[in-house]
Amino acid sequence: MRRPRLQDVATEAGVSPATVSLVLRGSPGPSSGTRERVLDAAARLGYRPDRAASLLARRRSRLIGVVMDVRSTFHAQLVEDVHEAAEEHGYDLVLSTVTRTRDEGRAVETLLDSRCEALVLLGPNAPAARLSALARQLPVVAVGRPVSADGVDVVRAADDEGVAQAVEHLAGLGHRRIAHVDGGRGPIATARRRGYERAMRRRGLGEHLQVVGGDPGEESGARAARTLLGSDVRPTAVVAYNDASAVGLLDALLRRGVDVPGEVSVVGYDDSPLSRLAHIDLTTVSQDSAQLTRLAVAAVVERLDEGRTEQREVVVPPHLVVRGTTGPPTSS
């Protein structure tokens, strides 16, 4: 069956195609009666505007490309929030994923080939020079990562401050032997590790610094648990790089019969949907994903629709969400 066209709606409503176009765009001119006739005709015929053709005629795609790591539950939450914020401004998204076998460069190339007007990169790992080169082609917003790249807007949480809040919370409960499960070599992991080290020293706990190597995955937390449990002096609390690592840590502790938070308190980072599950109930640092994504989309809209040219960085204060995995130490 042939798809209804603009001319079909015009014939059905007894008006010109130009009038139908004005009504469907919500433009002034047609009377209320004419608008009602056109909308009724469009509904009866099942007419849907050819959005792609319309945008092409205006040389606009109104598509925002988003690069996400498919393995990250926090990125999944961010994408949901980006969708909502983009739709409020009349934009749609094209997603491109980073996987075990597909790197960030390939993901970006796919979005460029898809005629995206701007890129929102979630926790990008690309060097600053590569990001600057991209920004010379189209607006680029880096979410979650501090980066000094010419032309790139940055929207991020203060990661060092977030980890410091976790350390302060644990120290306030009476913990002194507080360890950190690292997230690897990336810039976000570096900021969180430095935040942990500075907070421990501010609290006079520098002699108890303990950083265990890891990565963003759950298995990293499980490996860290085995390392920590094998230490001569076990920590009474652990701050993990992210929620996934913290969940892996919790699982390994549970399997070894270690009570949480009785024997070991655990704090994650991201306040992902995983952390809120009743059987996990993880104390974690929230980055306020909705605020991060609103600001990221606003940065895109200011570039594309309002002509902003100056570079901008916005830092969103994180906050600790206390749940059931932290409590006072049972012994010093």
User: Strands 63-69, 118-122: parallel, antiparallel or unpaired by DSSP?
Assistant: parallel
The pLDDT of residue 18: 78
Q: How many whole angstroms from its chain centre is CA 149? A: 20
Q: Which of 18-32, 83-97, 197-211, 282-296 has the lowest mean pLDDT?
A: 18-32
Question: In sequence order, what are the residues at sequence separation of 6 or more whose Cβ sits closer than 8 angstroms to the Cβ of residue 103?
Answer: none
* Residues 157, 173: Cα–Cα separation, whole Å: 25
Angle at 104 between CA 99 and CA 109, to 5 degrees: 115
Q: Report pLDDT for 56.
A: 47
- Please state the φ and ψ torsions of residue 88, each to the nearest 5 degrees: -65, -25
Give the residue-averaged pLDDT of 184-210. 94
pLDDT of residue 2: 67
Q: Which residue intervals of the chain bear CATH 1.10.260.40?
A: 6-49
Least trusted range by pLDDT, from 32-41, 208-217, 230-239, 249-258: 32-41
30-58 pLDDT, tens digit per residue, is 888 898 898 888 888 888 765 545 544 44
Q: Is 63-157+289-312 a CATH 3.30.70.20 domain? A: no
User: Which one is predicted more confidently, 7 or 61?
Assistant: 7
Number of neighbours of residue 192 by Cβ within 10 angstroms: 26
pLDDT attached to residue 50: 59
> Which segments of the chain belong to CATH 3.40.50.2300?
63-157+289-312, 159-287
For residue 309, what are the contacts with CB-CB under 8 A and spacing of at least 6? 303
Alpha helix segments (H runs only) across 203-288: 218-229, 243-255
The CATH fold assigned to 159-287 is: Rossmann fold (3.40.50)
- Over the chain, what is the mean pLDDT? 90
> How confident is the model at residue 5, as a pLDDT?
81
Please check whether residue 270 is in contact with residue 74, taking contact to mean a CB–CB distance below 8 angstroms. yes
Q: How confident is the model at residue 20 (pLDDT cuts 50, 70, 90)?
A: confident
**% of the chain at pLDDT higher than 70:** 94
User: 310: left (phi > 0), else alpha (psi -120 to 50), else beta?
Assistant: beta
Task: Using pLDDT thresholds of 50, 70 and 90, give the confidence band for residue 312.
Answer: very high
CA 184, CA 245: separation in Å to the nearest integer? 12
> Average pLDDT in the 276-292 region?
93
Average pLDDT over residues 152-160: 95
Question: Of all residues in the chain, what percent carry a pLDDT higher than 90?
Answer: 65
Fold designation for 6-49: 434 Repressor (Amino-terminal Domain) (1.10.260)
Parallel, antiparallel, or unpaired: how do β-strands 92-98 and 118-122 relate?
Answer: unpaired
pLDDT digits (tens, 9 = 90+) for 114-128: 889 999 999 898 899
Note whether 319 and 165 are within 8 A (CB).
Answer: yes
Beta bridge partners of 69: 98
Question: Pairing state of beta strands 319-321 and 283-286?
Answer: antiparallel
Q: Would you state the pLDDT for residue 71? A: 84
Q: Could you give the 3-state DSSP secondary structure of residue 100?
A: coil
Distances (CA, A) of 247 to 23, 91, 223: 53, 35, 12
Contact between 320 and 166 under an 8 Å Cβ cutoff? The reply is yes
Please give the order of strands across the beta sheet that includes 283-286. 211-212, 178-181, 237-240, 265-270, 283-286, 319-321
Q: Which among 98, 93, 100 is positioned nearest to 109, based on CA atoms?
A: 98
At 55 the pLDDT is: 47
Helix locations, the chain, DSSP H: 6-13, 17-25, 32-45, 51-57, 73-88, 104-113, 128-135, 159-173, 187-202, 218-229, 243-255, 289-304
Q: Answer yes or no: is pLDDT of 65 > 50.
A: yes
